[in-house]
Amino acid sequence: MSRGLMIALILGTGIAFSATAAVAHHSISAEFDTDKRIEFTGKVIKIDWLNPHTYTHVEVEQEDGTTIVYRVEGGPPNALFRSGWRENSLPIGETVTVSGAMARNPGSTNIGSASIINSAGQRVWSGQAPN
């Protein structure tokens, strides 16, 4: 096999594999109903700084005294890091207000396409650098 053909095959295979990975990522509407928005205020109890998404766990006390823990999906850690955010930028115990789309799965407490505002009124995990 000629050297040029071998290089073309290797490059073609690399491009095919990279395109497959890009297509494999789901759209927001696959998991979340963007027409069913929710807004709540609660306390951050845990943050999972994992690939491919971060997850902020927010505990919300209901009127009857029970609590619900919402799992708020955020952006990828590497993008947040490049924007100046760190895993400890939002402290555990912080009171936040969340606005986002509810999961399509009935009974799920997952929230996507979310905006998190901290107690100082600053948007968190938005891709904007912290002040």
Examine residue 106 and say whether the peptide bond preceding it is cis (omega within 30 degrees of 0): no
Element (H, E) at 10: helix 3-24
The 3-state DSSP class for residue 12 equals: helix
pLDDT, one tens digit per residue, over 85-107 is 888 888 999 999 999 999 998 88
Which pLDDT score, from 0 to 100, does residue 2 have? Answer: 73
Domains of the chain, start order: 28-124 (2.40.50.140)
Instruction: Provide DSSP, 13-78.
Output: HHHHHHHHHHHHSPPHHHHEEEEEEEEEEEEEEEEEE-SS-EEEEEEEE-TTS-EEEEEEE---HH
Whether the full predicted model's pTM is greater than 0.85, yes or no, is: no
Profile the chain (131 residues) by mean pLDDT over runs of 10 residues.
63 52 55 87 95 93 96 89 86 95 91 90 65 49
pLDDT value of position 61 = 96
